[in-house]
Amino acid sequence: MKDYRKTEEEKLEDAINEVAKLKRLLHDLTPGGSEFYNNPEYCAKWIRESRQQEATSLKVMLKVEKEKNQTLTQRNVLLVKALQDVLDEMPPKPTMQILKTIQSVAKEALSNNQK
């Protein structure tokens, strides 16, 4: 009958192989280079800093996008109000010239809003 229990030497060899594998995996998460070779502490530090920089960049990008969205929302409110003012002042039977003016202003407003 075969003994399936591992000897202490086999357990030690497995642990050494596992550590080497984990070092390689950690190293693979870095850009490489001699400063990372066989230096898991430096690899981990670089990964932490890199992830922090990514998070900071994403926060800045999100803030900029929110500000753009707020600006566009404010412009849309102003455009809707301006259009409503024009419609409120329009005579019951507008002339073709008035309609063309309204169309021109609306196109300009839409064009400016898309910039």
3-48, pLDDT tens digit by residue? 667 888 899 999 999 999 999 998 888 888 888 888 889 999 999 9
In this prediction, residue 88 carries a pLDDT of: 85
Cα–Cα distance measured from residue 23 to residue 7, given in angstroms and rounded to the nearest whole number: 24
| CB contact at 8 A, 47 and 30 | yes
Calpha distance 102→95 (Å, rounded): 11
CA dist 63 → 14, 66, 68, 71, 104 (Å): 49, 5, 9, 12, 34
In the chain, % helix, strand, coil (3-state, to 5) comes to 75, 0, 25
Instruction: Decide: helix, strand or coil at residue 29.
Output: coil
Provide the whole-model pTM.
Answer: 0.56
Give mean pLDDT, residues 46-74: 95
Distance CA 40, CA 111 (A): 55
Q: In this structure, what DSSP letter does residue 6 have?
A: P
